[in-house]
Structure 1
């Protein structure tokens, strides 16, 4: 008899109630097994804080959900699309990596406009820069911006794109108190617009303000974390 859960994963899911569904996902990188039999359901429009020590696999899991990595075993659906359908998944997912993932030889404004162009979206890059306090840096190449300014620019891009699933790796790193509050405000606005958030962070007290459910990765295994500490 077919497994009803796996059968449901293969069924068409227009307007799927779950943004992310993983079943029995394993991932091996070289000789190292990074993820071990992960099951995960993330309802559409919800927020998840992903916890774990350095090297636990948080970044790897975010890359897998964004189709940057393919599972060694297991299966899943992202926004109703098969996990291995990279093009369909990438259209609905934005990953903000810990290093911001910006183009260093483009200016701040050019980075935002290029991101909009890649997603065939319209948006106001100048207003987005002003929102994060970077209007004076709009014409500066990213390579000349400080780590904190690059983080603010990456957050402006994530906010401007507002992809249905937004994955953010260490959003509070390299930011002062004002920058961290700005991050909470921007991510909170995305959550209020129905965006599904997955945030890998070492500051659960901050991340859980916008992504209240906490999951912990340890030894490649994912489990609920009721305390988020």
Structure 2
């Protein structure tokens, strides 16, 4: 029997599917309702900035789209795959969390090579490290890297994997001006390769350069934002 909620979502066989579609998604964690009846359509290849105060649920929404959390109610698809099909969703989504999500006891190069192995991909970890200015830190354990260096390493991993959908949580945090420009360059290159970007950020003036559409999450509800009003 077909699911009536999913029947309103873009046919995954279409030549140009949406990257993300949510219908009536609610998420409750314990007694707290985090997301309230979200409807969301993100066309493939587009860039979206997600705004909101600390604690608004931005990170939670990214985790849900990456299949790290399951909706309490509602339905969704990620590149045509049912949101509850965790393995299929994880194959096409890369989440770069605010804490970088690296393995602290592995070196920078080992982290990148492990990520490639996990996704059965081939890539040049050394070149990726050079791209983010970390060639001298390739053999250092991540636990000994600064917050800014860990951010650069996480960006190198996202760029190396280049999943069709890349979710980035606070990409400009803990970076100086040069690091922020590097972030914009790397995310811009991903966008140029057709990667769909969803960026949770407190710096809309930066994020808009690679993700021009803006959404605000407040009280568990999404709304469109006019950047002119920022």
Counterpart of 1:188 in structure 2 is 188
Return the TM-score normalized by structure 2.
0.96
Q: Is 1:117 the counterpart of 2:117 in the alignment?
A: yes
Distance in 2 of aligned mates of 1:145 and 1:75: 40
Deviation at 1:37, TM superposition (A): 0.3
Q: Is 1:200 the counterpart of 2:171 in the alignment?
A: no
Gaps of 5+ in 1: none
The 3 A distance-change label for structure 1 pair 71 and 221 is same
Distance in 2 of aligned mates of 1:159 and 1:9: 29
Distance in 2 of aligned mates of 1:199 and 1:167: 6
Q: Could you tell me whether the CA contact under 8 Å between 1:76 and 1:83 is conserved in 2?
A: yes
The 3 A distance-change label for structure 1 pair 208 and 65 is same
Counterpart of 1:48 in structure 2 is 48
Deviation at 1:7, TM superposition (A): 1.1
Q: Is 1:90 the counterpart of 2:101 in the alignment?
A: no
Distance in 1 of aligned mates of 2:152 and 2:117: 20
Q: Could you tell me whether the CA contact under 8 Å between 2:5 and 2:75 is conserved in 1?
A: no
Aligned length: 228
The 3 A distance-change label for structure 1 pair 11 and 194 is closer
- Partner-residue secondary structure (3-state), 1:102: coil
Q: Could you tell me whether the CA contact under 8 Å between 2:10 and 2:18 is conserved in 1?
A: no
User: Once the two structures are superposed, what CA deviation does each residue of 1:43-94 show, in whole Å capped at 9, x if it has no partner?
Assistant: 0000000000000000000000000000000001001000000000000000
Gaps of 5+ in 2: none
Q: Could you tell me whether the CA contact under 8 Å between 2:27 and 2:71 is conserved in 1?
A: yes
Q: CA RMSD of the aligned region, Å?
A: 1.6
Counterpart of 1:64 in structure 2 is 64
Distance in 2 of aligned mates of 1:207 and 1:85: 30
